[in-house]
Amino acid sequence: MNTLFEVSNLKKNFGALAVTNNVSIGMAAGDRLALIGPNGAGKTTFVNLVTGHIKPDSGRVTLSGEDVTGMRPAARVQRGLIRSFQVTRLFPDMTPEEHVALAILQRDGKAGRMSGHYSAKPAVMKEVRETLSILGLIELSHLKVREIAYGQQRLLEIALAMALKPKVLLLDEPAAGVPQLETTRIERALDQLPKDLAILMIDHDMDLVFRFATRVVVLAAGTVIFDGSPQAVTKDQRVREAYLGSYANAGSAA
């Protein structure tokens, strides 16, 4: 197995509290990994450490063999390490079309251009429409983001991540705040992503997690307590104790 993305011995303390304690996770191209754990287990902190939004105390993050631990978030993005945010981070006064167009231009290194308008570029517009269609946002493409519903803003987060053509995609609770019906859109969008892309998803919706993931990592109190198949996770005693409880029971009952 060829490791595309590797996190080794990542540590972060907030004061005396070890929020990330010696976490190591490796991912190969094509991996579909779910990172789960109770609230406060350090899942979002893990994503923030990996993407460079927080500096780790020690440990290494490598992407395609390159050490990116000391790089700024933007530099990691340029190398294909893309994330979505747990709480939507978008530009409230821009339209979905502008968001996706900007992501595409930035990905292609053309966002610094000081003349021209994206709508005059057929290739960009085609990709913008395709991306927005996949997420069912095409009819909202000219509304400002602050005028559209939160669930649809969540979908736009996914659209942006897709437009950036990631190698490794970190999705921090993509379905949080998304109505049940729209969740299928997210799943369909994820299905359409290239198969060689590695995806790590954090989510509390266990149905979604079990449909999506081929591998599950459980984080509790900043430590990895389980790393294995979705079938094995419900049977794992430590996981049951730490967190799953009701889900595992529900699973065995069904």
Residues that bind other proteins (CB under 8 A): 51, 53, 72-74, 77-78, 82-83, 85, 89-94, 97-98, 101-103, 105-107, 110-120, 129, 138-139, 141-142, 160, 164
For the CB of residue 36, give the shortest distance to other proteins in the complex, in Å: 23
Question: Closest CB to other proteins among 139 and 241?
Answer: 139
Cβ-based nearer residue to other proteins, 171 or 224: 171
> CB 241 → other proteins: shortest distance, Å?
36
Least Å from the CB of residue 162 to other proteins: 12
**Min dist. Cβ of residue 177 to other proteins (A):** 17
Q: Which is nearer to other proteins, 149 or 232 (CB)?
A: 149
Q: Which residues contact 244 (CB under 8 A, 6 or more apart)?
A: 218, 233, 234
- Residue with Cβ nearer other proteins (143 or 193): 143
**What is d(CA 226, CA 237) in angstroms, rounded to the nearest whole number?**
10
Rg (CA), the chain: 19
Report which DSSP code applies to 51: H
Residue 83 to residue 95: CA distance in whole angstroms: 20
Sheet of 81-83: strands edge to edge? Answer: 81-83, 168-172, 198-202, 32-36, 215-220, 223-228
CB closer to other proteins out of 113 and 195: 113
The nearer residue to other proteins, 141 or 183, going by C-beta atoms, is: 141
* Spatial contact of 58 and 22, defined as CB atoms under 8 Å apart: no
Q: What are phi and psi of 217, to 5 degrees?
A: -115, 130
Q: CB 154 → other proteins: shortest distance, Å?
A: 14
Helices (H), 164-220: 180-191, 206-212
From the CB of 139, what's the least distance to other proteins, in Å?
5
Q: Tally DSSP H helices, then E strands, for the chain.
A: 10, 10
